[in-house]
Amino acid sequence: MKKTSLSIVFSLFLSGMISAQNKITLNTDLAKTKIDKHIYGHFAEHLGKCIYGGMYVGENNTKIPNTNGVRNDVIKALKDLKVPNLRWPGGCFADTYQWKDGIGPKAKRPSMINAWWGGVTEDNSFGTHDFLDLCERIGAEPYLAGNVGSGTVKDLTDWVTYVNHPTGSPMSELRKQNGREKPWNVKIWGVGNEAWGCGGNMTAEHYSNIYRQYATFMADWSNTGGLYRIASGASDGDYAWTETLMKNIPHNMLSGVALHHYSVLSWGDKGPSVDFTEAQYFKTMDEAWKMEEFVTRHSTIMDKYDPAKKIALVVDEWGGWYNVEAGTNPGFLYQQNTMRDAMIAGITLNIFNNHADRVRVANLAQIVNVLQSVILTNEEKMLLTPTYHVMKMYNVHQDATLVPISIESASYEYQGKKLTAVSASASKDATGSLNVSLTNIDFAKPQEVTINLRGEDFTKVSGQILASAKINDFNSFENPNKIAVQDFKGAKLEKGVLKLTLPAYSVVVLNLKK
C-alpha cells in the first residue's frame, strides 16, 4: 500500500507534514484487569435488511448457500470475527415483539407490522429457535432483549422458561414439541430497551420499579450461575438516569446498566455516509471521542453506589449513524461504511478496553446492512466492511489482560478546534505476548509514535494495518477488497523502545513477543 511506504513517511517527515511525536508508556508488569471478550459484541435487530435478506434468506433459497436459512458466508464471517455475544431482536423492535409468534411451524406463525422500522410486514419466520441456533453455530452467547414496554411479566418469564428450563414445565414441553430437546441456557437478558424513549417513555423512577418487578420473576434453572440481567440505561450524558437506577434497584437484582451513544452529526441532518467533508468528519470524530467522557462519568456515578465494580456498564448500542443511501427505504437505516467508520471503531474499542474495570459488555449497531455494519449483502454478494476488519484486528484483546497505558498525543486541529489524534490500548494474552492497538484519526497528518515498554523485555514485533488512499474510501460489491488488512513492517523495537509512524486515518495493531 502506498500510504505505508517508509520512503513516503520519511519525505513527509522532512517536509514537516508529520505531526509532533506522540509518547506512550506501557507498564506491562502492572497488568491485572481482564478485558472481557463481551466488549466485542454485536447487535441484530428486525430492522431493514439486517435479518431478512441479510443474515436470513430462507430455508428454500437455492441461489444462496445457507444452513437452515442463514447464509453460509455470513456464518463463516461471524465465526472468523469471534463474535462473543449477539443481541436480538432489538432495539425499539424488542418492546413490540411477541416471542410466542416466532415459534412453531412457520406456515402457522402470525404476521405483524414493524411500526418502528419502515412499516413492513414481519412474518416471524426468523424466531427464537432460528436465532439461538445461529448463536450456537457462530460460537456466540445470545443476548435476548425482553419486551417490557408493551409486554407483560408473564410474557418475559415464559420466554426465560422456554429457553432455559430443562423439562417438566409447560414452556419447556412446548420447546420440545417445537424440536429442541435441551435448553439453550441463555444467560444474558435485557430487561427492556431505551425505557426513556421507544421502550415506554418512562421516567427513571418509574422504570426502576418496573425493572424490580420484572427481574423478581425472572428465574434460572440451568445452574450456570444465574441470569445476567441488564437494565435499560441512559442515552449519552443522562447521568441522572444512571444515578436513579443505581440508587433504586437492589444490586443483587442487577448485573449491568446499559448506555447508548451514536456518533451522529445531528438528529435533524445526519450527513452523508460517503461524500462527507472534513468539517463533517471532524464533528463525527468529536462525537466518537465523547464516549470517553460518557463512560468515565457514568462509571463515576456507579462507583459511588458500587465501589467493588460488581455491576457492569453495558454499552449495548454504539456506532456511526448517517443519512440512508439514496433510493433506499428511510426506515431501513442502510448506509455505506468508509475509513471514517474504521476510525470510530478504533477509538471506541480502545476506550472500552481502557475502562475494562467497568465496561464488560458492548454491542456495535448493527451486524448486517444496518448503521455501522460489519457485513453488507446484496442478493448473492457479500462484503466485509472496514469496521469488520478493525474488530477482527482488535479481537486479540478478547479476555486478555489490560496493560496500564499513559498517552501524550498530538492534536488533530480543524478551524481552531482540537481533538486527540492518537488513541491506543494494550493487553497481554495467555501466551505472554503483548498486543497494542493504535488509531490515528488525523485527516491529513501521519503521527510519529514512541512507545516505552516498562516491566518486561520483548524482542520481536510484527503488525497489521488498515489504511486507504482516501478517508471516503469504502468496499463495494464491485470492489469488495479495496480496503483490506495488510502486514505492517514499520515498527522498530530497540532496548525497550518501540517507534513507528501511523499514516493519517489508519489503524495499526502490533504484536510483541519475548
Residues annotated catalytic, as ranges: 194, 317
Task: Measure Cα distances from 135 to 82, 131, 148, 187, 224 in Å.
Answer: 11, 6, 23, 13, 18
DSSP assignment of 77-126: HHHHHT--EEEES-SGGGGG--GGGGSS-GGGPPPEEETTTTTEEE---S
Say which residue the cell 417445537 belongs to.
178
Other CB atoms within 10 Å distance of the CB of residue 253: 16
> Whole-angstrom Cα distance, residue 82 to residue 395?
7
- What is the C-alpha separation between 273 and 86, in angstroms, rounded? 25
Q: What is the dihedral sign for C-alpha 77, 81, 85, 90?
A: negative
For 408-465, give the DSSP string: E-PEEEETTEEEE-EEEEEEE-TTS-EEEEEEE--SS--EEEEEEEESS---EEEEEE
The cell for 156 is 418475559
Cα 418 to chain center, whole Å?
Answer: 26
